[in-house]
Structure 1
Amino acid sequence: MITIVLADDEKLIRAGLKKILTDSLDIPIEIIEAKNGEEALELCRDRNPEILITDIRMPVMDGVELMKNISVMEEKQKPAIIVLSGYDDFSYAKAAIQSGALSYILKPVDKKELITAVNSAIMDSLKEEKEKNEQKFRQIIEKGRLDDVSGLPEITIKNGLRCIVIYGKNPIQALETVMQGRTYYVVEQTKSYVLIVYPFDGNEVSYDPSYLDTYIVGISGPADDYSMLRTMRRQARTAAMQSFFNAETGEIYEKQRKGGLYYWENDQHINDFTTLDETYEKMISHCDLASPDETQKDVENLFDCFKNNAKLNSETLCYLYRKITSNMFSRYPGYTDSDMYLHIKSIMIENIFEYANLPEWQSSVLDYAVYLAALLKQDTKESPYITEALAFIKTHFKKNINMAMVANQVSVNYTWFSEKFKEHTGVNFNEYLKRLRIEEAKKLLEKGCYKVYEVAERCGFSDVKYFMKIFREETGMSPTEWSNKHIS
């Protein structure tokens, strides 16, 4: 529903304009009349109309004064302004422009000109409203909650909401063709994929077969609660991951993966990735101590997870992908932030749907890990005590340790050790220890079975308030928010 405030001191003119608008616009509108600027201003404050159509010459408060008052209102309350005037006077036009008027129309009003201006204002309003709601959806996904629910009930349709993710070249352009006028909201967008949420109207979106030869489409299950958006995003992504596996057997495609349409199937699912977490942690924590051959074996062991339950491989891949892209690239910032090869490789790994099949993606993960291990190994040859120190830290980081203790453990001068440690890891000792503990905290929180103070104790934080402060600084969310985000 679009609300329009119509301000003119002549009743017959208001009636004529109202009839033009009612007869010519094909969307639901509500027209509220005001006989002067003061009434119009109160209506704008109370009703938050999308459009204000106002005459310039009115008693009590004229159109110029009305526009000045509206110009200082909060941005979200300002209507689009269309000015009507019987005076072809540049000063009025100038005042209208300075106040942000969308159009300036001379009386007698040309019907076509008025409808064109109103339609333009309506399109701008709908676009703005859509962008606001998209931002709200992103907030739900990012924070797991919505602080401002205003506007969202208008989106709800009795059949609930769906998420769709589309992977391929120019996905947003393809999306517009597919949705064919349906209402949808873009939640995430890159050059290679787009994720949307749309009110489900009871009819499935239809896709041209030739479209599905080029694009991979993952569709979530339905939900009628906005708090489920994060879960729906995961469902859509997991559905799209099915393209890497045989639909009948769940086995990995060794050649070209399949494009097409994939639905989230609401049946049996994996609730516990503890074994995968342990295998991953062994691989990534061993990276700075392992030889290239050992690193290769660690990566192979990690990807053996797809042999355990072929029917649920898409869920496993979705979880592993998130693990690698959110953890592996940030584990050794001294290298990953500065080495161009690692930077380019990380971008390639993030774009998993650019790969023909899963073995090719695994090969890139292996290349990244082996190259990183080689860099780390090269540095530790020059400073072998660093290897010993890192092994000691990883074994004892849950305890109350400090750099002096570690330097003493490896029999190296404190100052010299501090300098070499930062050269090797890219961060100082305290920062490295903090990140190690935070990574452990993330893993424990994702299990969903520990209280916050228990996680703090198990990760080496003696003060739970300090732990919560540091965790928010590092992740942008509280431990509880992190747990809720990754359990869903």
Structure 2
Amino acid sequence: MYTVLIAENEPWVLKGIVQMVKAAGMEFQVVGECSNGNEAWNMIQEVWPMLLITDIMMPELDGLSLIKRIAEQRIPMVSVIISGYDNFQYAQKAMSYGVSEYLLKPLEYEILTEALKRSKDKLESLKDLNNYIVRFQCLLENSQGLALDTIMQKQNQLIQSILRLHGLNNNARVGLLNILDNKLKTLLNDFGIEFRDIPKSKHQDETSILKYYMAMLEKWYLEYPRMVKSSMPEAIAQSCRYIETNFKTNLSLAEMANLTNFSISHFSMLFKEHTGSSFVSYVNRLRVDEAKKLLRTSSYAVSEIADIVGYASGPYFTRVFKAHTGVSPLEYRRRMGS
């Protein structure tokens, strides 16, 4: 399963690309749609897609600047540029940032599917790295409501497994640790949580590195619940009610922002501030909770349950379920004796 984020400021073009990616095969799962580079950057850090398809010219943050930022932070992701400009300098700069494909508008289905096929080998090589980040994100949001000692133990195990990459792939190890560090600092800053009393050790041995990350994570898990505001705006409360009623349908961030008359970025910020969860994680938690109930009480196949709770792809459902529960749907059913 390859997760895909699409960024395009022309709504009709965006819709067309989404439809083409979905038609390209069940292995490609669209997990986000954005209308500008800033929205795409924010969503990348929530859903951590494996593949980005982006227009080169967008408001607020253009496609080249977005991909440059991804490259600078060494995020394991395949990028495809779509441009209305057959410009060698644009293409050359895009390739210097690691872009896999530079496609011209108007985009044809056959051209895109061929580009997606060519990307498969690289996507396969990124699967394990992407999984580390997705697991880290899921634990940060603590969607299972785990006790502090349990969640710290899980994060400890995850970071230790990243540290063990040293002998196999040091570049991947360094890149993953930098991503975790940037993510933690951004979250702590956004919520006004002071962390400068946790200096990064000058020693780069595994014990010192692990101690630093665990101290940062403890700060987050202890302070973050206090920072979530208790007074929720009616627009966000209404959104939560709507999501809880319609989570089995194909909900999108853009749709929810439109319902509340907020911009996507403003809705996303308010939603996370007042619910303590990103929109995507909120929907996934509801779907996983419903799936768990069906796994315990029904004889539906896993693929059928995936469809019932709102996932177009069984493999993607399994990935999300395992990220939230630590086990596959079949293993969950077996353990619950269903």
What's the TM-score bracket when you normalise by the shorter of the two chains?
0.3 to 0.5
State the TM-score, normalizing by the size of structure 1.
0.27
Higher helix fraction (1 or 2): 2
Q: Please say which structure displays the higher CA radius of gyration.
A: 1
TM-score by length of 2: 0.38
Specify which structure has the bigger relative contact order, considering alpha-carbon pairs within 8 angstroms and separated by 6 or more residues.
2
